[in-house]
Amino acid sequence: MMRVTLFGASGLLGQDLVKELNDEQLTALSSKDVDVRDRARVSKVIRDSRPDWVILSAAYTDVDGCESNRELAFAVNCEGAVNVAKAAHEAGSRLLFLSTDYVFDGSKRSPYEVGDARNPASVYGESKTRAEEWLVEILPEVCIARTSWLFGHGGKCFPSTILKLATARPEISVVNDQRGGPTFTRDLASALVQLCRASAQGIVHVTNSGNCTWYDFATEIMRQSGLSTKVKPVTTAEFPRPARRPAYSVLSPDSLNAYNVRMPEWQDALRRYLSDTSVAPRP
């Protein structure tokens, strides 16, 4: 049995991690329990729980919000991560840190490998990039799990937003020039726990297999849910957002497969997500 201390237990991923870690000795902490910016509090909870692994999924993930709240983004995503890493180091605990495809600028046209150069194009991506760099200095054996396009139950996500819009409108417009890998939090949680059990270290890319554009994703949501709402493809330029998104951020599965961990296809993940909502998926 592993002793695990989880930061971010109430988040979209955190809720599935709590379920996945049900058979372990788990200390599950939400942002209300511990603010990662409070170094003394972080140190105390890690010292008291004496975990084999600390999993840090707590973050300020509002990508557009980060653009206008740069100081907060770095305080939580970078300085907060450093606080957790230092406390884990002092306690002799391993650390698994959740990172993002946004550490890349999206200029590549083949899946990103773990050794590809970071070049974030947004404040959110910058804050995660800097955290990655610092954590390796503090804990050389840290496991950095980069993921992308998360969806799951217990919070706002792309499929839930699309389903809500589809019930209210005859047509919805969705960006068709950004390509990435949708990732179901339930599958991600399972993979992360497997990585802990395998004593993983270094950078690992963890997404459901396959890739698509947001338009493709929305179209598949419509198809599986049996809704007749028309999905119209549009360009990023037609839908400007405060934060720049990578045009291509597909993450290669090679680093994950090296641990004999394989993720289901994103379409299968979507089917299972929809089967747990009020919308029954089509085969």
Domain membership flag for residue 283? no
Mean pLDDT, to the nearest integer, of 204-230?
Answer: 97
Average per-residue pLDDT for the chain: 96
pLDDT on residue 277: 82
Q: How many domains does the chain have?
A: 1
Mean pLDDT, to the nearest integer, of 1-6?
Answer: 97
Question: pLDDT for 183-211, tens place per residue?
Answer: 999 999 999 999 999 999 999 999 999 99
Domain membership flag for residue 106? yes
Q: Alpha-carbon distance 2 to 25, whole Å?
A: 6
Nearest alpha carbon to residue 246 among 154, 135, 116, 157:
116
pLDDT on residue 103: 98
The catalytic residue positions are 124
Domain membership flag for residue 277? no
Judged on CB neighbours under 10 Å (0-12, 13-18, 19+), 32 is exposed
| Pair 234, 148: CB distance under 8 Å | no
Domain membership flag for residue 177? no
CATH code assigned at 69: 3.40.50.720
Domain membership flag for residue 29? yes
Q: For 37, phi and psi rounded to 5 degrees?
A: -75, -15
- 262-263-266 Cα angle (round to 5): 155
Domain membership flag for residue 239? no
Q: Is the pLDDT of residue 213 over 60?
A: yes
Domain membership flag for residue 124? yes
Domain membership flag for residue 75? yes
Q: Which domain holds residue 47?
A: 3-156+182-209+249-264
Mean pLDDT, to the nearest integer, of 225-254?
Answer: 96
Q: Is the pLDDT of residue 280 over 60?
A: no
Q: Is the pLDDT of residue 272 over 70?
A: yes
Mean pLDDT, to the nearest integer, of 72-87?
Answer: 98
